[in-house]
């Protein structure tokens, strides 16, 4: 009886943390409740919901399944599992659980709406696959942007001639700061020009930094344009003497993703050898459909532009190596030993992220304090320990790795005895997390990382996820 009372007290504490959007703390106290009373389905379902909020979809799936095992009649267990399946792109399995909810609660309109939305999605994806033509014309041929007429009343920046200029890039940022818009003619030109540039790059890009040169590495931006501008205000704008590497997840969540990505792509075109971009797990079709970028592009431009972005994202490099001593990737290390830099160079990256393998790990994996490897709570990639990091560094003659992919209270974290550094550059992530943002600066001689942290800055009154479609709504209940 004492254990049951103690479990309930932990659950109440966890519930309060959840209400305050302190999801990591909620997980901690739901876990304590489970340890006191491991037979209560509610605790697992509640922890599953917390994991969903943390995007730990593997953990959410595992807990929801456990809740169902403990109580086959517990409807929330099916809801949670369906949401986890949706987030992992397993739509048919999600539909099965939504069907179970509708059967158990035939009067629930919410359950019917979610079931119907899931069915519509499955039908649409099947239709799109059926009509796909492997021999279709390239998007450059079907979208003849050069023939697009710029209206006389257009007040935004103009690309004169064939190349991006510094004047254009600064005008572009000023336009975005004033909540203006880049004309679609120039938006398409930037995308197709960036695509041509990225096609020439390897999957692992080697970067040389001079001894006295400052080099900056930024983590996730997630559509927080005004915080991106703050980074440049604090650290200087990109230039031939102020190079940058942005380490993936430029878009989604934040509702100024279009502004972020066109600013970054414009700098990439302006300084191709001094401005670098790595692919993150959110530079992918499924993530963009779920977390707002696809909806934002459609709202600000059009559906065909979404397809162009998908093609461009497929060509982003997966990793960068600084002076042959520091490896930078979005996610982390690998599910097997013995991976070399040449193995990374050999990855065929022009595809959607696979569910396993080297490319998947680079985009999705996370470090853990414990030695060895374990399944990822995200449901994709793995978690890797200090021993895995040490072995990889030794095998490849590297000093340390830099990765992003995870919110950190201070914007960065030095893990694995300083050999695995996380940097996250979106402060107050989603306007709710309260974290600082950070970026790393180093020079070519010592490659010693220096950290700069900062708070979020104000932005126009457009909430995160403003453009998310019904697919994301299936995760809300």
Distance CA 368, CA 453 (A): 23
CB distance 323 to 271 below 8 Å: no
- DSSP calls for 376-405: -TTSSSEEE-HHHHHHHHHHHT-SEEEE--
- B/e letters for 57-74, b = 16+ CB within 10 Å, e = fewer, are bbbbbbbbbbbbebbeeb
- Active-site position among 17, 222, 282, 320: 282
Token duo for residue 373: 């490897």
| CA gap 92, 118 in Å, rounded | 8
Query: Active-site residue 282, yes or no?
Result: yes
DSSP, collapsed to helix, strand or coil, labels residue 208 as coil
| Measured CA distances, 395 to 338, 345, 346, 392, 447 (Å) | 7, 16, 17, 5, 19
d(CA 358, CA 353): 10
DSSP 179: T
Alpha-carbon distance of 427 to 433, in angstroms, equals 8
Q: Is 440 helix (H, G, I), strand (E, B) or coil?
A: strand
Distance of CA 313 to the CA centre of its chain: 12
Are 236 and 215 in contact, with CB atoms under 8 Å apart? no
Residues 6+ apart with CB under 8 A from 2: none
In terms of residues, how long is the chain? 477
Per the structure block, which two tokens stand in for 355? Answer: 């569910």
Q: Write the DSSP assignment of 209-256 as a string of letters.
A: --TT-EEEEE-B-TT-HHHHHHHHHHH---BTTB-EEE-S--SSSSTT
Residues annotated as catalytic are 282
């Amino acid at each position: 009886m004492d254990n049951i009372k103690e479990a309930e007290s932990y659950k109440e504490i966890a519930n309060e943390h959840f209400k305050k959007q302190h999801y990591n703390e909620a997980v901690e106290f739901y876990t304590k409740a489970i340890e006191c009373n491991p037979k209560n389905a509610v605790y697992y379902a509640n922890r599953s919901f917390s994991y969903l909020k943390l995007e730990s979809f593997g953990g959410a799936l595992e807990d929801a399944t456990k809740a169902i095992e403990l109580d086959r009649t517990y409807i929330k267990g099916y809801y949670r599992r369906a949401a986890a399946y949706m987030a992992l792109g397993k739509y048919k399995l999600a539909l099965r659980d939504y069907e179970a909810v509708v059967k158990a609660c035939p009067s629930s309109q919410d359950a019917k709406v979610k079931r119907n939305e899931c069915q519509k999605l499955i039908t649409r994806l099947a239709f799109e696959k059926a009509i796909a033509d492997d021999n279709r014309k390239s998007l450059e041929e079907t979208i003849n942007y050069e023939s697009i007429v710029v209206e006389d009343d257009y007040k935004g920046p103009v690309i004169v001639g064939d190349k991006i200029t510094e004047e254009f890039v600064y005008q572009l940022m000023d336009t975005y700061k004033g909540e203006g818009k880049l004309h679609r003619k120039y938006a398409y030109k930037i995308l197709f020009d960036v695509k041509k540039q990225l096609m020439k790059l390897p999957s692992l890009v080697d970067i040389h930094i001079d001894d006295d040169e400052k080099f900056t590495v930024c983590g996730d931006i997630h559509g927080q344009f005004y915080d991106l501008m703050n980074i440049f205000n604090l650290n200087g704008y990109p230039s031939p003497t102020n190079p940058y590497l942005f380490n993936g997840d430029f878009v989604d969540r934040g509702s100024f993703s279009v502004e972020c990505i066109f600013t970054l792509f414009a700098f990439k075109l302006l300084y191709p050898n001094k401005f670098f971009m790595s692919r993150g797990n959110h530079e992918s079709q499924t993530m963009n459909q779920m977390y707002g970028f696809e909806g934002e592009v459609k709202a600000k431009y059009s559906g065909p532009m979404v397809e162009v972005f998908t093609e461009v994202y497929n060509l982003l490099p997966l990793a960068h190596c600084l002076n042959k001593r520091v490896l930078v990737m979005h996610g982390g290390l690998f599910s097997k030993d013995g991976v070399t830099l040449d193995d990374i160079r050999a990855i065929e990256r022009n595809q959607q992220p696979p569910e396993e393998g080297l490319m998947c790990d680079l985009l999705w994996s996370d470090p853990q304090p414990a030695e060895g490897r374990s399944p990822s709570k995200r449901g994709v990639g793995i978690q890797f320990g200090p021993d895995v990091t040490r072995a990889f560094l030794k095998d490849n003659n590297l000093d340390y790795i830099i990765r992003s992919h995870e919110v950190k209270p201070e914007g960065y974290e030095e893990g694995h005895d300083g050999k695995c550094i996380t940097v996250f550059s979106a402060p107050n992530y989603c306007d709710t997390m309260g974290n600082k943002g950070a970026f790393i600066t180093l020079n070519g001689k010592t490659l010693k990382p220096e950290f700069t942290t900062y708070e979020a800055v104000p932005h126009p009154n457009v909430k995160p996820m403003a453009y998310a479609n019904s697919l994301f709504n299936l995760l809300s209940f």
